[in-house]
């Protein structure tokens, strides 16, 4: 299933084609091997409270979200070959193309909404 992701706090669209990774295999693979992540695309990893960018080719913007969709930690332009800390408040992670957070003004504490795309 694909999702439209909005920053409700700032009234900004973050992605209109975000995929969801729920199975072990989907979560493990994530964005590994992708050559690009276009504006409008993203990956929502559920459940998740830490990530790595090993074997990735591109930097990504990363949002750690609590159960209500509130951003508890953000990492703009996280480069390949990095690992994050564990964020115990986080229940999911949204990965976006690098630059989306800066362009949208997204900040920690903002609340996101997810709407299924038919």
pLDDT tier, 33 (very low <50, low <70, confident <90, very high otherwise) = confident
Residue 118 has pLDDT above 90, yes or no: no
**Which tokens go with 31?**
């964005």
Determine the pLDDT at residue 30.
85
Domains present along the chain, CATH in parentheses: 2-117 (2.60.120.1140)
96 band by pLDDT with thresholds 50, 70 and 90: very high
Specify the pairing of strand 2-7 against strand 112-116.
antiparallel
């Amino acid at each position: 299933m694909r999702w439209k992701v909005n920053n409700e706090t700032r009234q900004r669209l973050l992605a209109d084609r975000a995929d969801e990774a729920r199975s072990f295999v989907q979560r493990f693979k994530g964005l590994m091997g992708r050559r690009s992540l276009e504006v409008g695309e993203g990956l929502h990893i559920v459940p998740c409270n830490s990530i790595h960018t090993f074997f990735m080719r591109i930097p990504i913007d990363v949002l750690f979200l609590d159960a209500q969709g509130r951003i508890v930690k953000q990492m703009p332009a996280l480069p390949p070959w990095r690992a994050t800390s564990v964020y115990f408040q986080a229940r999911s992670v949204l990965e976006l193309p690098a630059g989306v957070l800066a362009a949208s003004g997204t900040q920690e504490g903002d609340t996101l909404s997810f709407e299924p795309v038919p």
